[in-house]
A and B are shown apart, each in its own frame.
Chain A
Amino acid sequence: MKHEIICAGIGGRGVLLASTILIEAAITSGLKAVASDEYGMSQRGGSVISLVKVGDFASPFIGRENGDILLAFEESEFYRTLFFLKKGGLALINTRAKGLPSSVDALLKKRGIVCRLVDADGIARDEGMFQSANMALLGFFASFGIAPFTPEVLENTIRARVPEKFLAKNLAVFARGCEAAGAQGAVKMPQQGM
């Protein structure tokens, strides 16, 4: 099994925690995994990209149009990293918007990319945890059931990784993210990978 996953967002909003949970979930499931982060010189507010590769790879780099899954924690970072995504890939975007610009919609359709929008910020805010939008997007992703990233595995990894003090709230946001996908009638994806 191989997955190439791009996590894209801005600094200070939990992109690296999300990618850490993905890599640890893969490793506890007995898979090889490596992650590499790009955050440039900005401490806060700059673009952050974390590349996660699951399976037998030597390098942590992802090539243009090779990525299987793009988790965009900010809509702007989705556009910036869309070139990573392969034909038939999966894109999940945290945004308040109800749709994407028509030129982008047409492109995604042409490239067979499955794209879902979710207001992860809104979900996190409803739970009083604005900084936990990353958990909402992870929950949304979990509901697609792409092995090894099932809701159970991701939830257990969050339990092991997130400090006790924030755990209950984070799990609540994660669960709301899962439900949001159900509410959208998101179909389970066929198994990714080669």
Chain B
Amino acid sequence: MQSREEVIIGNQAIARGLVEAGLEIAAAYPGTPSSEILPGVVYFKKMEGLKIHTEWSTNELCAFEVAFGAAAYSGARAACFMKQVGLNVAFPALLRSREKTIEGGLVIISCDDPGPQSSQTEQDTRLIATLFGIPVFDPASPTEAADVAYYALNWSFENKVPVIIRSTHRVSHARESISLYSPGARKVSLKEGHLAGTGRKLGIVASGMSYSLVYDVIEELGAADVVSIYKVLKVYPSSEALSDFVRSMERVLVVEETDRVIEALIGDHKKVMGRSDGTVPSSGEITYDIVRDMLSGVLGRLGLGRKDLFAPDGTIEEALSDVAVVPRPPKLCPGCPHRASFFAMQYLWPDAIYPGDIGCYTLGISQGAVDTCLDMGAGVTMAEGFYDAFNQDGKLVPILASVGDSTFLHACLAPLYDAVKNRKRFILVLMDNSTTAMTGMQPTPQTGVTVDGVKTRSVAIEEIVRGLGVEYLKIVDPYDVPLMIGTIREAFDYLKGDEMLPAVIIARRQCLLLTKGAAKEAAYPADIESDCVGCKSCLATFDCPAMSFDEGLKKIRIDDSICTNCGICYYACPVQVKGKALRKLKVAVKQGAK
């Protein structure tokens, strides 16, 4: 029986489907675009008054193993949620789990990030599932995602096999009106097969959001009578009907994100167009314009095209060519404590080696204080590798690694212990903002709060760092830029000593999104405009979204509407008189912190 409708995003729809299917255990580590699924489970379990165990795990492997443990031997209906690169962290357990007969049900939701928009790589969860023979679904909309989640958990429970649902950020973050059913009562509508079109010369096979796009573009092009569209929902194992469809078409075009999976399963390179022959771009998100261009081209080549196919109006770009539009590359928020840390790091040693990690603070790259971004934890371990490479040549160079608090707990404990045990000398700046900011402010183990909002034991990072054997440990407020710079210098002096251990500086200040707004360190937005000589050096070293260069006045301008009054940009201004900040800074650099 249908209870009601609610406008929710795809991730909440997935949560709803699982809750309705009798989910008992859910564990996750946040990662865009998957982060809203677990809070969705909490929301719906409270709404329905159900008892479901929900937890933020410390990483994806923990999440997977909690869910697998519950499903494998206790007979529970369990699920775990992660982003596509998180699935790599859970990989050892995932591969073993497919061989085990589980007693209960297990659904793994892995959300891919075509583009990638918020990941270090694109990666296709469907490819991993297919390679290792794990059933995988690819829903095409939030509505279908809710149905698939419901169906998959029941199917897994009945067949005693883990199932993967692959979402993409366009499915996970699209908003639709979703039907909410009573638990156990969902009316599931799963669509797979030859769903649209009547042509035989070109068959288009597509799955997930790519199917939805192809459908809309074919509507716009009015080509439904000359092509046929086949929608794939269960990518692996693939159905007989798909083989029949492919056989019945003269040519076949496969549109899928982000890798060649259905295309490889079909084979037949003579008949099939797709990524292999360059018809579909080899990487990047498939957008409406890409599909429209691609289909127009293919229809034209096969003699199925129409004369009035879409041609872009180039005069739009011509008319805009002289209009100065503020560029808005990804940046740390105004007032972000990370920006202050990066400024201090970069100020002291512009040419140091800066191994970085995965989180908001990867954006420190624009301040010249992040050089690498490999995977979670690599900020620490790559620092070790850099140290070894220089140490072999008898050189001790400044290496300043940076990592956030949530990532530290996720992936850096073993690397930091490794660095202690193997006597590596570098400085680790642990940027502790008390939250998992980039993925939407989830609590960390240090916060001491569960996903349900219940108090739990909090674990202090400094105790862990000391426990791992680190001796040099300082906790500094990154807004105190002179102290920060002095401490980094002091830490490097320590590295020159006999201890031969890494030095750790915890730069601790809460994320501004957590404190809800202004830093309020100063009463007014920073006045760096009046002294400005137009040198633009603050743009390079500070890179605050509230700063822009006024080409007319040849001066920096501060946007009062987003400035948080943190006042840290005074340090970044080499001519600033009012703040006297730089002079203080130079004294601090000379003396070192006491």
A9 to chain B, nearest CB (A): 11
A175 to chain B, nearest CB (A): 23
- Determine the distance from Cα of A193 to Cα of B272 in the docked complex, in whole angstroms: 37
Residue from the list B320, B333, B438 in contact with A45, Cβ < 8 A:
B333
Determine whether the beta carbon of A35 is less than 8 Å from that of B174: yes
Determine whether the beta carbon of B325 is less than 8 Å from that of A80: yes
Chain B residues near A79: list those with CB within 8 A: 320, 323, 325
Determine whether the beta carbon of B319 is less than 8 Å from that of A63: no
Chain B residues near A107: list those with CB within 8 A: 315-316, 319-320
Any chain B CB within 8 A of the CB of A118?
Answer: no
Any chain A CB within 8 A of the CB of B317?
Answer: yes
| Chain A, residue nearest B218 (CB) | A58
Determine whether the beta carbon of A20 is less than 8 Å from that of B7: yes
Chain A residues near B513: list those with CB within 8 A: 43-44
- Determine the distance from Cα of A63 to Cα of B333 in the docked complex, in whole angstroms: 30
Residue from the list A27, A42, A62, A104 in contact with B328, Cβ < 8 A:
A42
Interface residues on A, range: 35 or more
A31 to chain B, nearest CB (A): 10
Residue from the list B175, B216, B360 in contact with A61, Cβ < 8 A:
B216
- Determine the distance from Cα of A37 to Cα of B177 in the docked complex, in whole angstroms: 16
- Determine the distance from Cα of A48 to Cα of B211 in the docked complex, in whole angstroms: 25
Determine whether the beta carbon of B287 is less than 8 Å from that of A45: no
- Determine the distance from Cα of A31 to Cα of B95 in the docked complex, in whole angstroms: 45
Given contacts A23-B7, A63-B292, contact A43 B319 (CB under 8 A): no
Chain B residues near A130: list those with CB within 8 A: 561
Residue from the list A10, A23, A63 in contact with B289, Cβ < 8 A:
A63
| Chain A, residue nearest B562 (CB) | A45
- Determine the distance from Cα of A76 to Cα of B117 in the docked complex, in whole angstroms: 21
Given contacts A65-B312, A83-B317, contact A34 B328 (CB under 8 A): no
Any chain B CB within 8 A of the CB of A185?
Answer: no
A186 to chain B, nearest CB (A): 23
Any chain A CB within 8 A of the CB of B213?
Answer: yes
Any chain B CB within 8 A of the CB of A106?
Answer: yes
Determine whether the beta carbon of A40 is less than 8 Å from that of B330: yes
| Chain A, residue nearest B438 (CB) | A41
Determine whether the beta carbon of B322 is less than 8 Å from that of A43: no
| Chain A, residue nearest B289 (CB) | A64
Any chain A CB within 8 A of the CB of B288?
Answer: yes
- Determine the distance from Cα of A111 to Cα of B320 in the docked complex, in whole angstroms: 14
Given contacts A24-B7, A63-B217, contact A44 B288 (CB under 8 A): no
| Chain A, residue nearest B213 (CB) | A59
B404 to chain A, nearest CB (A): 14
Chain A residues near B88: list those with CB within 8 A: none
Given contacts A23-B175, A43-B333, contact A58 B319 (CB under 8 A): no
- Determine the distance from Cα of A61 to Cα of B219 in the docked complex, in whole angstroms: 13
- Determine the distance from Cα of A130 to Cα of B209 in the docked complex, in whole angstroms: 37
Any chain B CB within 8 A of the CB of A190?
Answer: no
Determine whether the beta carbon of A40 is less than 8 Å from that of B117: yes
Interface positions, chain A 16-48, Cβ under 8 Å from B, are: 20, 23-24, 27, 32-38, 40-47
A192 to chain B, nearest CB (A): 16
- Determine the distance from Cα of A45 to Cα of B216 in the docked complex, in whole angstroms: 32
The count of residues in chain B whose C-beta lies closer than 8 Å to any C-beta of chain A is 53
Any chain B CB within 8 A of the CB of A66?
Answer: yes
| Chain B, residue nearest A105 (CB) | B319
- Determine the distance from Cα of A43 to Cα of B513 in the docked complex, in whole angstroms: 9
Interface positions, chain B 424-460, Cβ under 8 Å from A, are: 437-438
Determine whether the beta carbon of B319 is less than 8 Å from that of A103: yes
Chain B residues near A23: list those with CB within 8 A: 7, 175
Given contacts A24-B7, A43-B360, A45-B562, contact A103 B220 (CB under 8 A): no
Any chain B CB within 8 A of the CB of A12?
Answer: yes
Any chain A CB within 8 A of the CB of B546?
Answer: yes
Determine whether the beta carbon of B333 is less than 8 Å from that of A59: no
Any chain A CB within 8 A of the CB of B111?
Answer: no
Given contacts A34-B175, A35-B174, A110-B315, contact A61 B320 (CB under 8 A): no
Determine whether the beta carbon of B7 is less than 8 Å from that of A27: yes
Residue from the list B140, B177, B216 in contact with A27, Cβ < 8 A:
B177
- Determine the distance from Cα of A155 to Cα of B39 in the docked complex, in whole angstroms: 29
Interface positions, chain B 229-266, Cβ under 8 Å from A, are: none
Any chain B CB within 8 A of the CB of A122?
Answer: no
Any chain A CB within 8 A of the CB of B170?
Answer: yes
Determine whether the beta carbon of A57 is less than 8 Å from that of B216: yes
Determine whether the beta carbon of A58 is less than 8 Å from that of B141: yes
Any chain B CB within 8 A of the CB of A60?
Answer: yes
Determine whether the beta carbon of A35 is less than 8 Å from that of B175: yes
| Chain B, residue nearest A133 (CB) | B561
Interface positions, chain B 183-231, Cβ under 8 Å from A, are: 209, 211-213, 215-217, 220
B406 to chain A, nearest CB (A): 15
- Determine the distance from Cα of A43 to Cα of B516 in the docked complex, in whole angstroms: 13
Determine whether the beta carbon of B220 is less than 8 Å from that of A104: no
Any chain A CB within 8 A of the CB of B302?
Answer: no
Determine whether the beta carbon of A103 is less than 8 Å from that of B325: no
Interface positions, chain B 464-519, Cβ under 8 Å from A, are: 513
Determine whether the beta carbon of A46 is less than 8 Å from that of B292: no
Any chain B CB within 8 A of the CB of A163?
Answer: no
| Chain A, residue nearest B511 (CB) | A43
- Determine the distance from Cα of A50 to Cα of B66 in the docked complex, in whole angstroms: 36
- Determine the distance from Cα of A10 to Cα of B329 in the docked complex, in whole angstroms: 12
Given contacts A36-B173, A76-B325, A106-B319, contact A41 B7 (CB under 8 A): no
- Determine the distance from Cα of A60 to Cα of B5 in the docked complex, in whole angstroms: 19
Chain A residues near B5: list those with CB within 8 A: 27
Residue from the list A45, A101, A121 in contact with B545, Cβ < 8 A:
A45
Any chain A CB within 8 A of the CB of B536?
Answer: no
- Determine the distance from Cα of A111 to Cα of B312 in the docked complex, in whole angstroms: 13
| Chain A, residue nearest B564 (CB) | A44
Any chain B CB within 8 A of the CB of A146?
Answer: no
Interface residues of A (CB under 8 A from B): 10, 12, 20, 23-24, 27, 32-38, 40-47, 57-66, 76, 79-80, 82-83, 101, 103-104, 106-107, 110-111, 121, 130
User: Can you list 16 A-B contacts (CB < 8 A)?
Assistant: A23-B7, A27-B5, A40-B117, A41-B360, A46-B329, A46-B545, A58-B141, A58-B215, A61-B287, A63-B220, A101-B323, A103-B323, A104-B323, A106-B319, A111-B313, A111-B316
The 6 closest A-B pairs by CB, nearest first: A45-B545, A59-B212, A107-B319, A63-B288, A58-B212, A61-B288
